[in-house]
Amino acid sequence: MHPYTRPDSPVMCSAAFPDSSRLRRTAAAIAFTAIAALLSLVGCGEVVEKVEPRPTQDRANPANFVLDVDPMMRGTVASETAIDGLKPVIVRGYGLVVGLKGTGGRLMPAEVRAMMIQELARRGIGNPATSPEGWTPEKLLNDPDTAVVVVEGVVPPGSTKDTKFDIRVSVLPGTDVTSLEGGKLYSVDLRPGPLLIGSRQAKIIAEAKGNIFINPFVEPGATRKDAVNRLVGRILDGGRVTQDIPLKLKLATSSHTRARTIQGAINSTFPREPKQKNDTAHGENSDSIELTVPPSFVGNTEDFIQLVRHIPLDVTATEATALAVRNALIANPGATNDAMWRFRALGKRALPSIQDLYTYGEEDPRMAALQAGAALDDALVVLPLLAMAKEGSTENRTRAIELLGKMGFNPDIDLGLRPLLDDSDVDVRLATYEALVKRRDPSIAQLDIDGKFDVALVPSTTPMIYVAQSGRPTIAVFGNSLAVERPLTYFAWSNRLMVKADAGDDQLQVFYRATTDARAEIQLADPRLSDFIPFLGHQTTVEKPFPGLGLSYGETIGALHQLWRAGYIKSDFKAEQDRILAAILRSQKEDEQVIRPEFEAAPTLDDGTPISEEASDLATVAPPPPVDLPAAGRNTVPR
């Protein structure tokens, strides 16, 4: 008997007591049977819930790009984001100039001609109901009074709809056009990126039209080789933005939490204004925040962008932040620009921390505080700014004058600026003139010449003529007594314009023919420039029967320049630099040197295809002929 068998138990066979190996085989069989049963249940449609393994969560947020943050900018929006749309947008298009006096041309590439025919037909040319009888797109392009041109402009970053900007117009390479003088640009659509034709064009964001202004120092009809380029002109305020230019913040590191923090900081600084449809900052996702330019910054989007970049992420510690920035500025005066914007972004609560810097001994920190105080309209900056305008470095003098020009009503500012119209530095005089015009100071008289241009009469003991080449067309005359010298006998423009007077004459005899075959007219004019310039530009009408020649803005300046070169106007002659071309060339140069991060909101073609960064700033056609431009912003025109 088995030693473990109870005496009263029945005798069992040996198979009832398997050894350990047999037990293991039996357990395996049972497990197999159970698995088979489960599989059969699944096959019959039963749902079996499986416990998934817990995923391993990667807590490290992906970096989109790396930012090199200056110590002065730590803790700001710019320390964690980059702005998509920070640069001005170069827009271009092909346009048609009409009203030329036989100086147009018909030569152009075949694909450009085909595109222009299609565009003119779309605008109603050739339709008897909308265009003169007999006119067709082909006839208009072949007319010697028209020319197809390249139209370019610089749209400020983040511009809103209806923002105005200047336009540059140039003839096509290889054309037979001889002059754009006297022409008018027919309405043209403008797109970002290169000049393309067909469906590969970018979307329309602006339009342009208006009278072309040729370089003011050209002799009308001149063909000499040394004449100023007449194949390039500009239209002051001739461009108009047709849709808002988007602005977006791209986070360096993807994070919904940081995106909400940045959005909250911006909206706290720029709460929604009346007639503003959306919040200033609207988070799209963990990578991007869309910006809306508040109505109060329309036309001044550059300042808005800078303020957004310098907003602190912690908006609850304004005073402590202002004090920290102040101390950092004193320790590092080279960071004046960023410090100034940081003070401005903090708002009026930063003023107590910077007011003692208004009279600080070192000029750069003082200027940073004064700039911020002026932008925040602190009345305490007026006297220190006037002192800076009189005694600072040339750059800071003109900057202080510009700041004073933007401040609110304050008679002390007007009275303090007026003496600077007699300053020995020409840049100071011009900056003062522009500031007083912005302030609508009554000491400067403004004359509207038939809506074509303005004449500004500036009280100054230093005679000067200043010609604006951007914004509102304006001729500024410094010195109330400035007049055409007598005696004189002067011939210009192939004898189409003659001016004569004897010594002691109170009036000038002016002989003028609009064209070589037109009837000549002789009129009398006052030699004082305050009267002579309006006489040159005014067109005599029944409503305004005053005498006048009806010259364009460019022709008026050309006549003045001719008299000045001949020595009959004793003054300086200054012309503003062509800012349009300068901005285009500067943008293209920066694109060649700077590698910029890629953003999602790149310019797109009509079919939705993104335009590359390189293609968006470089035209595919040959560049127009160069323009003879002085290097400085305001320059004396050589005799």
**CA-CA distance, 119 to 190, in Å (whole number)?**
13
**CA-CA distance, 201 to 607, in Å (whole number)?**
8
pLDDT in tens, 506-522: 999 999 998 778 888 99
Range with the largest mean pLDDT of 29-38, 62-71, 276-285? 276-285
**CA-CA distance, 63 to 255, in Å (whole number)?**
10
Strand 89-98 vs strand 206-211: parallel, antiparallel, or unpaired? unpaired
Alpha helical stretches, state H, 336-393: 336-346, 351-354, 363-375, 382-391
Give residue for tokens 């920066």. 590
pLDDT in tens, 241-269: 999 888 999 999 999 999 999 999 999 99
**CA-CA distance, 319 to 325, in Å (whole number)?**
10
Q: What SS3 state is found at 467?
A: strand
DSSP letters for 105-158: -----HHHHHHHHHHHHHTTTT-TTTS-TT--HHHHHH-TT-EEEEEEEEEPTT
Q: pLDDT at position 214, please?
A: 79
**CA-CA distance, 548 to 532, in Å (whole number)?**
9
Q: 260 CB contacts (<8 Å, ≥6 apart)?
A: 283
Q: pLDDT at position 583, please?
A: 64
Which among 92, 223, 231 has a CA at the least distance from the CA of 154?
A: 92
Which among 387, 325, 382 has a CA at the least distance from the CA of 354?
A: 325
Give residue for tokens 């819930």. 49
Q: Which whole number is the average pLDDT over 1-17?
A: 42
Give residue for tokens 């342009």. 208
Q: pLDDT at position 10, please?
A: 41
**CA-CA distance, 154 to 587, in Å (whole number)?**
10
What separation in angstroms does the CA of 192 have from each of 196, 447, 578, 603? 10, 37, 21, 7
Return the C-alpha torsion angle 539, 552, 183, 238, nearest 10. Answer: -110
Which among 428, 348, 359 has a CA at the least distance from the CA of 395?
A: 428
pLDDT in tens, 290-325: 999 999 998 889 999 999 999 999 988 899 999 999
CB 275 within 8 A of CB 292: no
Q: Report the Cα 416 to chain-centroid distance in Å.
A: 32
Do you find a cis peptide bond into 487, omega within 30 degrees of 0? yes
Q: pLDDT at position 577, please?
A: 65
547 phi/psi in degrees, rounded to 5 = -65, 150
Start-to-end CA span in the chain (Å): 139
DSSP letters for 61-78: PPBS------GGGTTBGG
Give residue for tokens 């006998």. 489
Give residue for tokens 């204004």. 273
pLDDT in tens, 430-466: 999 999 999 999 999 999 999 989 999 999 999 999 9
Q: Mean pLDDT in the chain?
A: 81
Which among 474, 466, 458 has a CA at the least distance from the CA of 422?
A: 458
Token readout for 378 is: 């602190």
Angle between helices 363-375 and 336-346 (to 10 degrees): 30
**CA-CA distance, 347 to 183, in Å (whole number)?**
48
574 - beta bridge partners? 466, 636
CA atoms within 13 A on the CB side of 338: 22
**CA-CA distance, 604 to 201, in Å (whole number)?**
8
Alpha helical stretches, state H, 381-522: 382-391, 394-406, 411-417, 426-438
Q: pLDDT at position 28, please?
A: 52
Token readout for 200 is: 């590969």
Is the pLDDT reported for residue 626 higher than 60? no
pLDDT in tens, 150-167: 999 999 888 988 999 999
Q: What SS3 state is found at 210?
A: strand
Q: Which residue has the higher pLDDT, 286 or 624?
A: 286
Q: pLDDT at position 61, please?
A: 60
What separation in angstroms does the CA of 67 have from each of 21, 250, 251, 342, 594? 69, 11, 10, 18, 14
Q: What SS3 state is found at 95?
A: strand
Long-range contacts for 379-388 (Cβ within 8 Å, ≥24 apart)?
379/410, 380/355, 382/407, 382/410, 382/412, 382/413, 382/416, 383/412, 384/358, 384/359, 386/412, 386/413, 386/416, 386/417, 388/363
Percent of the chain with pLDDT over 90: 56
CB 286 within 8 A of CB 323: no
617 phi/psi in degrees, rounded to 5 = -120, -5
**CA-CA distance, 406 to 418, in Å (whole number)?**
15
**CA-CA distance, 214 to 521, in Å (whole number)?**
25
**CA-CA distance, 157 to 601, in Å (whole number)?**
14
CB 599 within 8 A of CB 250: yes
**CA-CA distance, 453 to 575, in Å (whole number)?**
15
Q: pLDDT at position 200, please?
A: 75
User: Taking the CB of residue 493, how many other CB atoms lie within 10 A of it?
Assistant: 18
